[in-house]
Every structure is written in structure tokens, then in C-alpha cells.
């Protein structure tokens, strides 16, 4: 069965998957990391808020989120009224857990209430879709929600009841109901391992999930950029160098220039046009997998008949995007996809009618995804930087369920996630671990070093 659409026509430049930025500037709330975390929890637990919770909401009762929380609170009150001897005690509990949104600290599942106001397919869910795609269908089959004491257990039991939460399928965890095969399988594998470890520590998950997602969005963006033009083969980890936030950078550190942020940024402009073409060509409903597939897999799945159809599509695409002038385009079946992608990129070039749209995509990507990590360092330009909080987080995630790893194993774990350090940064990393006190030197020379996690 062909991966291409049966009716292969030139359409608009749109993407619905694999990346959250669009060719319009982001509106407020579209890159909300707390909402993204809630979307990941929805996929991890395969739960969402029950329609029963807001069935009587008519839009005249204030904010829908506030209404949903109020209904949850009333259900909790009903449970405690049946068991408490003193009715006044509920007021104490109400103050403890429902003022200042303290109920959100009970369990990660409480964050699902944040999604109540959002319609299916809302732009605010694009960010979480990126991570759900990376999860590749992974979820917790037995997502228990332990509490700190019997009072909090009652509150959690009400929250996880069918009156508040209901089960969903893998498709329903994606905002538009379309599954995706991960674009970067190696990064997806690391992401799933890190999510699995965080899920074993609910309090750490609550505290660190937004930070983890912010970093992974940056890693995904840079690795996608470095792989996007190599669509003829499956992606592989590409060297991408960070420095520690308190380090100085200079051009003498060649890898920071040759394999750093500025190098990856050169390829950001290929992301949108290539993804748009991939989506324009494929029919996810007819694919044998029943899901959207990445560009590189589409390329590998093309039959000889498909390539012939793409040859005709290339001519149509050029005519649609660049007008009726006599074309000098020469296309053969083998190079048809490459030609289409070249034209797709060209339509956003300087002087073309879609230049402004392409620039908005780049501005959104840099401002919303990269700005927390890409920092200006004098005449060398912007360099990818990690502060101590992110180093501690990633160290704990890489070590995972083990007690400790050797420094070399730890550095390999960073590389698997798209984080490389040169020798100078490794020295700074060791000094940081020594200050924190989670390092073991296994020899007098200090060559053999083990690093322990801090949770």
C-alpha cells in the first residue's frame, strides 16, 4: 500500500505534527510549559477529566477551570462530611488544599484539571503533542497515586474516581487524534527512559517535569535541525556542544563553533518546509501503521510507482509556488522527492512571497524554544548553555534507577540525549559534582570517577 495520498495535489503550507512552531508568531499560552506537562501526564496516565465534571457548565458560571475545581472540591466535601464528626474541620481542609492551588501538589494527575478549558486540537496543546509523539505510545499501565497521609489519600481517591477522571486511548492523548511515529527514535528512547524514571518519583515529577520538557524541546529542535536534510537515512545522534552557564567561551574552542548552536541554527529554516511537504504528501489513514510517519520513513517507503507520481507533483508544485514562467526544472523519478523539498525550502527564501512567513517561524522557534539555553557570548555569538539546575536534573535522569555511574558512562548518557561537552566543560562538570558532594574518586589520580544521583 502506498504511503502517498491517493489524490496527490499541491496544498497549503501547514503542519499538524512533529513541531509546535508555526509560520505565525506565537500567541499567549501557546508555549505554556505547565500545560505541556499536563498534556504529558494525560498521555502517561491515559486519563483525562470526565465529561461528568463539567456537564452543567453553561459558560455563565465564570472560568471553566475554576468551575471544574469547585466541582472537585464539592465531591471531596461530600466524602468528608460523611466521615467527619465536626463539620468545621472541612473548612480547615479547604484552606489547606484549595487555597493557592495546593491540591495540585497531591498527585501529578491533579494537573489534568488545567486542561479543562482547552478544546480538542487547541493551539496550546501543540507543545504537549511534541512530547506525546516522542513517547511513542508509552504509558503507565498501573499508575497508582500514593498519598502522604490518609486525608490526602481521600482527596486523591476522589480525584482519580470516574466522577473526575476517565480513561482515554493513545489517539485521544494527541490533541488531534492522530498518532505519530517518533521522528528521532534515539531521542525518543532516552525521553521514554527519563519519563519512566520520573514516574517512580511523583514528587520529583511534579517539581521537574516542566523543566525537563523545556530542555527536551531544545534538544529535539537542535537534533531535528541537524538531521532534517539527511532524510534519505534514519536519524542518528549528531554532536551538539554545550558549555556550563558560568564558563567563558572563545573561538579557540573549535567544537563550540563547528558543532554548537550557531551551526544547528543554520538548519532551522529547513524544518517547516520539509515537515509541511511530508504532511502534504502522505496519507496517515491509509498507511499500514495507521499513523503519521516521519519524512525519512516516507522516503524509505516509496515504491517505483510513487516516485513516478512525485515527478509529476514536483512540476505542479513549482508551477503553483513560482508561477507560469517557462520552467528549466529537470526531474527524474529517483530525485523527485529531493527536488520537491528543494522547492519547498526555496519558496521561503529572501525575495519570495513567503519570506515573512518563514521568518516568523524562525523567530518563534528561537524565542519560545531556544531562548532559555542559547546565550550570547561576545563575538562568538550564541552558545548553548546549561545551568546547575539542568545539570542536576539530567544527571539524576541519566543515572536513573542505578545508584551511580562512572563519569564516562554519564557523559555517554548526555551524548545520547544530544548534549556534548568538550574537555574544558568536563573539568567544570567534575568541579560542580565535587561541590555538590555526589562524586567518588576511585583512584588517587582522580582518573576513575563515579557520580551518584542526588534524589
pLDDT of residue 116: 96
Query: Is the per-residue pLDDT at 77 higher than 90?
Result: yes
Query: Is the per-residue pLDDT at 287 higher than 80?
Result: no
- Domain end residue (candidates: 355, 388, 403): 355
| Most confident among 122-126, 140-144, 332-336 (mean pLDDT) | 122-126
Of 48, 106, 38, 100, the residue nearest 76 (C-alpha): 106
Mean pLDDT of 201-226: 97
The 3-class secondary structure across 390-407, one letter per residue, is: HHHHHHHHHHCCCCEEEH
Of the candidate ranges 63-72, 80-89, 341-350, 382-391, the one whose mean pLDDT is the lowest: 80-89
**Cell numbers standing for residue 239:** 554532536
Q: 284 lies in which domain range?
A: 269-355
pLDDT of residue 332: 80
Between 284 and 49, residue with greater pLDDT: 49
The answer to whether position 12 is within a domain reads no
Statement to judge: residues 158 and 283 lie in one domain: no
Q: How many other C-beta atoms can be found within 10 angstroms of the C-beta atom of residue 332?
A: 11
Mean pLDDT of 422-435: 95
pLDDT of residue 326: 54
Helix count (H) and strand count (E) of the chain? 17, 8
Rounded distance between C-alpha atoms, residue 63 and residue 60, angstroms: 9
Contact present, 31 and 127 (Cβ < 8 Å): yes
Span 142-173, pLDDT tens digits:
877 678 899 999 999 999 999 999 999 999 99
Between 277 and 326, residue with greater pLDDT: 277
The answer to whether position 188 is within a domain reads no
Query: Is the per-residue pLDDT at 85 higher than 80?
Result: no
The answer to whether position 75 is within a domain reads yes
- Domain end residue (candidates: 179, 211, 234): 179
Q: How many other C-beta atoms can be found within 10 angstroms of the C-beta atom of residue 381?
A: 17
pLDDT of residue 385: 97
- Alpha-carbon torsion angle 235, 236, 240, 242, nearest 10: 110
Of the candidate ranges 56-60, 153-157, 260-264, 361-365, the one whose mean pLDDT is the lowest: 56-60
Mean pLDDT of 49-54: 95
Chain mean pLDDT for the chain: 93
Distance, CA of 342 to chain centre: 27
pTM above 0.85, yes or no: yes
pLDDT of residue 445: 52
pLDDT of residue 434: 94
- Domain end residue (candidates: 330, 355, 380): 355
Of the candidate ranges 260-264, 320-324, 330-334, 346-350, the one whose mean pLDDT is the lowest: 330-334
Query: Is the per-residue pLDDT at 330 higher than 90?
Result: no
Q: Angle at CA 153, nearest 5°, toward 152 and 159?
A: 90
Statement to judge: residues 65 and 163 lie in one domain: yes
Query: Is the per-residue pLDDT at 442 higher than 80?
Result: no
Count of structural domains within the chain? 2
The answer to whether position 73 is within a domain reads yes
Rounded distance between C-alpha atoms, residue 180 and residue 20, angstroms: 14
pLDDT of residue 325: 62
Of the candidate ranges 47-61, 405-419, 441-455, the one whose mean pLDDT is the lowest: 441-455
Statement to judge: residues 172 and 37 lie in one domain: yes
Of 290, 242, 169, 180, the residue nearest 394 (C-alpha): 242
pLDDT of residue 148: 84
Query: Is the per-residue pLDDT at 446 higher than 70?
Result: no
The answer to whether position 99 is within a domain reads yes
Between 250 and 294, residue with greater pLDDT: 294
Span 354-389, pLDDT tens digits:
999 999 999 999 999 999 999 999 889 999 999 999
pLDDT of residue 82: 84
Span 30-39, pLDDT tens digits:
999 999 999 9
The answer to whether position 156 is within a domain reads yes
The answer to whether position 254 is within a domain reads no
The answer to whether position 287 is within a domain reads yes
Span 305-329, pLDDT tens digits:
999 999 999 999 999 999 866 566 7
pLDDT of residue 289: 57
CA distances to 100, 155, 167, 385, 413 from 141, in Å: 32, 22, 11, 36, 26
Mean pLDDT of 188-217: 96
Query: Is the per-residue pLDDT at 80 higher than 70?
Result: yes
Amino acid at each position: 500500500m502506498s504511503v502517498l495520498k491517493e489524490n496527490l495535489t499541491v496544498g497549503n503550507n501547514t503542519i499538524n505534527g512533529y513541531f509546535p512552531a508555526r509560520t505565525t508568531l506565537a500567541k499567549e499560552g501557546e508555549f505554556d510549559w505547565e500545560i505541556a506537562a499536563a498534556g504529558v501526564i494525560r498521555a502517561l496516565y491515559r486519563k483525562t477529566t470526565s465529561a461528568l465534571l463539567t456537564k452543567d457548565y453553561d459558560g455563565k458560571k465564570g472560568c471553566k477551570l475554576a468551575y471544574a475545581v469547585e466541582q472537585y472540591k464539592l465531591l471531596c466535601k461530600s466524602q468528608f462530611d460523611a466521615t467527619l464528626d465536626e463539620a468545621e474541620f472541612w473548612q480547615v481542609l479547604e484552606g489547606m488544599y484549595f487555597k493557592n492551588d495546593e491540591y495540585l501538589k497531591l498527585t501529578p494527575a491533579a494537573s489534568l484539571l488545567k486542561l479543562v478549558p482547552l478544546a480538542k486540537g487547541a493551539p496550546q496543546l501543540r507543545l504537549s503533542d511534541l512530547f506525546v509523539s516522542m513517547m511513542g505510545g508509552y504509558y503507565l499501565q498501573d499508575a497508582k497515586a500514593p498519598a502522604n497521609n490518609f486525608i490526602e489519600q481521600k482527596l486523591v481517591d476522589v480525584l482519580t474516581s470516574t466522577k473526575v477522571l476517565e480513561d482515554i486511548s493513545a489517539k485521544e492523548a494527541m490533541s488531534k487524534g492522530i498518532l505519530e511515529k517518533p521522528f528521532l527514535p534515539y531521542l525518543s528512547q532516552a525521553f521514554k527512559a527519563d519519563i519512566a524514571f520520573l514516574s517512580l518519583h511523583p514528587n520529583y515529577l511534579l517539581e521537574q517535569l516542566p523543566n525537563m520538557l523545556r530542555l527536551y524541546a531544545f534538544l529535539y529542535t537542535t537534533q531535528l535541525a541537524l538531521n532534517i536534510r539527511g532524510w534519505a537515512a534514519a536519524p542518528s545522534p549528531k554532536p551538539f556542544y554545550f558549555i556550563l552557564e558560568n564558563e567563558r567561551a572563545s573561538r579557540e574552542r573549535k567544537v563550540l563553533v563547528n558543532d554548537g548552536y550557531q551551526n544547528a541554527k543554520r538548519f532551522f529554516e529547513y524544518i517547516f518546509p520539509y515537515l509541511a511537504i511530508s504532511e502534504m504528501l502522505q496519507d496517515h489513514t491509509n498507511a499500514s501503521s495507521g499513523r503519521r510517519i516521519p519524512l525519512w520513513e516516507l522516503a524509505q517507503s516509496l515504491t517505483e510507482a510513487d516516485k513516478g507520481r512525485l515527478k509529476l507533483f514536483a512540476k505542479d508544485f513549482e508551477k503553483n509556488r513560482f508561477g507560469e514562467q517557462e520552467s528549466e526544472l529537470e526531474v527524474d523519478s529517483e530525485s523527485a522527492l529531493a527536488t520537491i523539498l528543494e522547492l519547498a525550502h526555496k519558496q521561503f527564501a529572501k525575495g519570495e512571497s513567503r519570506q515573512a512567513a518563514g521568518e516568523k517561524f524562525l523567530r518563534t522557534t528561537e524565542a519560545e524554544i531556544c531562548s532559555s539555553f542559547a546565550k550570547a557570548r561576545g563575538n562568538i555569538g550564541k552558545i548553548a548553555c546549561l545551568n546547575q539546575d539542568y545539570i542536576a536534573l539530567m544527571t539524576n535522569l541519566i543515572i536513573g534507577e542505578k545508584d551511580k555511574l562512572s563519569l564516562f558512562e554519564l557523559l555517554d548518557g548526555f551524548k545520547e540525549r544530544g548534549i556534548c561537552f568538550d574537555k574544558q566543560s568536563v573539568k567544570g562538570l567534575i568541579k560542580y559534582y565535587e561541590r555538590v558532594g555526589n562524586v567518588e574518586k576511585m583512584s588517587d589520580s582522580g582518573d576513575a570517577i563515579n557520580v551518584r544521583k542526588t534524589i
